[in-house]
Amino acid sequence: MGGIPASGFGLGAAVNVESIIGQPNLFDIYDGGGLDTAFLGLAQADAEGNINVSKFQGRMVGCGGFVNITQNTKKVIFCGTFTAGKSEIAIEDGRLSIVRDGDFIKFIKQVEQITFSGNYAKKHGKEVLYVTERAVFRLTKEGMELTEIAPGADLERDILDKMDFKPVISKDLKLMDSRIFKDEAMGLAADNIE
């Protein structure tokens, strides 16, 4: 618990931790609803808000603790790039610049395998967000709703044309805070956000 997570093959290890607990005990926390918020990867998503991180083109990579973590957590935030494959994304003057987009669409009509069920999340009133470098969606009763786009991203060309389904577009569609796309301190303390 706490500390700085290791990267690469050091998955699960950390430096300067506050406490160390056994894996079975950690799964008791997950399964018992002990997490308020969880941030997880986004490999594929579909119109129903389902996520697939476990099976691609017949290749099984497994779900690990993904199902345990997402099943009983009150707020789930899926994070990842909007497309997959080789891409070149830049930030310039508080704006996103897509120099070369990934070749593979991640927001598809139907995921190959459901590792996270959007319908289950809706039924149980979970708050679910899908955050990428160019768009933010939230799960609603009507499906995935586009709520924010990055400054510099074109709604049609960079988002809708790169999806296999049409999301609900928020009536209050906003631009992401341009401070996210600057290489300087954001000054969040001055915003008095709690």
Q: In this predicted model, what pLDDT tens digit does every residue of 75-108 receive, in sequence order?
A: 999 999 999 999 999 998 889 999 999 999 999 9
**Does residue 72 form part of some domain?**
yes
Residue 152: partners with Cβ closer than 8 Å, 6 or more residues away: 92, 95, 96, 97, 181
Residue 109 has pLDDT above 80, yes or no: yes
State which of 164-168, 177-181, 183-187 shows the largest mean pLDDT: 164-168
Region of residue 143 (phi > 0: left; psi between -120 and 50: alpha; otherwise: beta) = left
pLDDT in tens, 21-50: 888 898 999 999 999 999 999 999 999 999
The CATH number linked to 150 is 3.40.1080.10
Q: Residue 70 sits in which domain range?
A: 19-183
Number of domains in the chain: 1
Q: Which two tokens stand for residue 159?
A: 């988002």
Residue 108: partners with Cβ closer than 8 Å, 6 or more residues away: 44, 45, 46, 163, 164, 165
Confidence tier at 59 by pLDDT (50, 70, 90)? confident
Residues in the chain, overall count: 194
How many helices (H) and strands (E) would you count in the chain? Answer: 3, 17
**Does residue 9 form part of some domain?**
no
Q: What is the percent of the chain with per-residue pLDDT over 90, rounded to a whole number?
A: 74
What pTM did the predictor assign? Answer: 0.88
**Residue 45 near residue 146, CB atoms below 8 Å:** no
**Does residue 79 form part of some domain?**
yes
Residue 8 has pLDDT above 80, yes or no: no
Whole-angstrom distance, CA of residue 72 vs CA of residue 38: 10
